[in-house]
Amino acid sequence: GESVGLHLPTLSVQEGDNSIINCAYSNSASDYFIWYKQESGKGPQFIIDIRSNMDKRQGQRVTVLLNKTVKHLSLQIAATQPGDSAVYFCAENIDSNSGYALNFGKGTSLLVTP
């Protein structure tokens, strides 16, 4: 079946640098994508989303880019802080007649070093 995947399982960046986390998806029917952040011992938390009719969306210090041509999604975090250390998941929304499902990638661990 089709799946969402991540290019890098771990990413280490220095505090203050920008971080880029990548995600590849293969389901061309996906119309909505979400990035979640999961801190140790907690459930996933919504960061930012993007619909398939957009190619860029910005939030506070975060930007999501969507390239539908190559089915690629990325999360950019500006001026990375120690509090950004977490596992980041991309998820695709597969809408169907029976409801919708979030298909999650396996996650990328971001470690911010001082």
Partner 1 sequence: EAQVTQNPRYLITVTGKKLTVTCSQNMNHEYMSWYRQDPGLGLRQIYYSMNVEVTDKGDVPEGYKVSRKEKRNFPLILESPSPNQTSLYFCASSPGVSMNTEAFFGQGTRLTVV
Which residues sit at the interface with partner 1, rule CB under 8 A? Answer: 31-32, 34, 36, 41-46, 49, 51, 89, 91, 93, 95, 98-102, 104-107
CA distance 16 to 18: 7
Q: Closer to partner 1 by CB, 1 or 114: give it.
A: 1
Question: What does the angle CA 37 – CA 82 – CA 57 come to, to the nearest 5 degrees?
Answer: 45
Nearer to partner 1, 52 or 63 (CB): 52
* Cβ proximity to partner 1, 76 vs 104, nearer residue: 104
Characterize 47-68 residue by residue with b for buried, 16 or more Cβ atoms within 10 angstroms of its Cβ, and e for exposed.
bbbbeeeeeeeeeeebbbbbee
Nearest approach in angstroms of CB 18 to partner 1 is 24
